[in-house]
Amino acid sequence: MTKPIVAVNGAKNFDDVPGLVQLRNAADFRFAPDGGALPEVLCGADIMLGWNFAAADLPGAWHAANRLRWIQWCGAGVDAAMFPALVNSDVALTNVHGLFDQPIAEYTLALILALAKDLPHTLESQRAGRWDYRLNERVAGCKALVVGVGGIGRAIGKTLAAVGLQVDGIGRSARVGGDAFDTIHAITDLDELLPLYDYVVLITPLTDATRGLFDARRLALLASHARFINLGRGALVDEQALINALREQRISGAALDVFETEPLPSESALWSLKNVIVSPHMSGDFKGFHAAMVNVFIDNFARYQRGEALINVVDKALGFVPARA
């Protein structure tokens, strides 16, 4: 049996991809550490492992994908792979759906607690040697709206509910909330709902339908005491409009893990705003997650070899793995 050829985008060798060496004898591996090397590596390949989930160099190399049948994307969001030629092709696209659900839910809870308990101010006072007694807020009884009700959104809903928040979701259509939400509202109802919540958590995938979802008009609908948390993609939000709302204290605060430009430029006003928590796109990245992503690929590779259905198949028309999968 002829070995399949696997192109690995975003890695120099096996050492860059923990555990991939287990498949060394099962396939012919080629590595492309950057976009410049990708066309040559992709030519003749049956499979591509997208190791760098944020890499935007695949469209420029797509002309060389003359035999490609399947792409395993090492990330939950596949927006970097959603270009027309791939979307309209017969190439299957899979991701690591489910791997980051609980880690991101835990991170969301940590951010909400940090905002409610004013931990950034406490740490600042500690470094200054200042005894700065003040009252903090409870989260039990507060209302949270999770925009995006896929696997990550559902994990967030369950985790927040466990500490006493009332949690609703926003999806493409209204439906029963199940075990994660009190209610799931339709995206068409977002505007009338935004003023009602203490915390708004944005985790929806970045697609043509959600790009710029929170613009200046929609940010203005948030309650003045509300906190805005973005763990999805920076392009879901008009960043300058958010900066203006925070600077003018039209909303109480924000916790942001994703940005329009990453790394966040040093000149960004977000670094210095006292009512903002900035983190470097790390909400789902736990110790050992690289090996865990490779294990998903190894499982899918075995399915591919046996001619079985792959897991975590992305609906390319939607840009994410549907709930039924």
Mean pLDDT across 129-141: 98
Percent of the chain with pLDDT over 70: 99
**pLDDT surpasses 70 at 21:** yes
pLDDT at 36: 94
Q: Do domains 5-99+287-306 and 101-278 have the same CATH topology?
A: yes
What is the CATH number assigned to the segment(s) 101-278? 3.40.50.720
Mean pLDDT across 126-134: 98
Mean pLDDT across 145-170: 98
Please say whether the beta carbons of 187 and 213 come within 8 A.
no
**pLDDT surpasses 70 at 1:** no
Mean pLDDT for the chain overall: 97
Mean pLDDT across 173-197: 97
pLDDT at 325: 39
Band of residue 55 on the pLDDT scale cut at 50, 70, 90? confident
Percent of the chain with pLDDT over 90: 97
pLDDT at 222: 98
**pLDDT surpasses 60 at 40:** yes
In the chain, domain spans = 5-99+287-306, 101-278
Band of residue 238 on the pLDDT scale cut at 50, 70, 90? very high
Cα-based distances in Å from 36 to 32, 45, 67, 72, 75: 8, 16, 19, 20, 22
H/E/C letters for each residue in the chain? CCCCEEEEECCCCHHHCCCHHHHCCCCEEEEECCHHHHHHHHCCCCEEEECCCCCCCHHHHHHHCCCCCEEEECCCCCHHHCCHHHHCCCCEEECCCCCCHHHHHHHHHHHHHHHHCCHHHHHHHHHHCCCCCCCCCCCCCCEEEEECCCHHHHHHHHHHHHCCCEEEEEECCCEECCCCCCEEEEHHHHHHHHHHCCEEEECCCCCCCCCCCECHHHHCCCCCCCEEEECCCHHHECHHHHHHHHHCCCCCEEEECCCCCCCCCCCCHHHCCCCEEECCCCCCCCCCHHHHHHHHHHHHHHHHHHCCCCCCECECCCCECCCCC
pTM: 0.95
Mean pLDDT across 50-70: 95
pLDDT at 324: 58
d(CA 50, CA 72): 6
Domain spanning 5-99+287-306: CATH superfamily? NAD(P)-binding Rossmann-like Domain (3.40.50.720)
Band of residue 115 on the pLDDT scale cut at 50, 70, 90? very high
Mean pLDDT across 209-219: 97
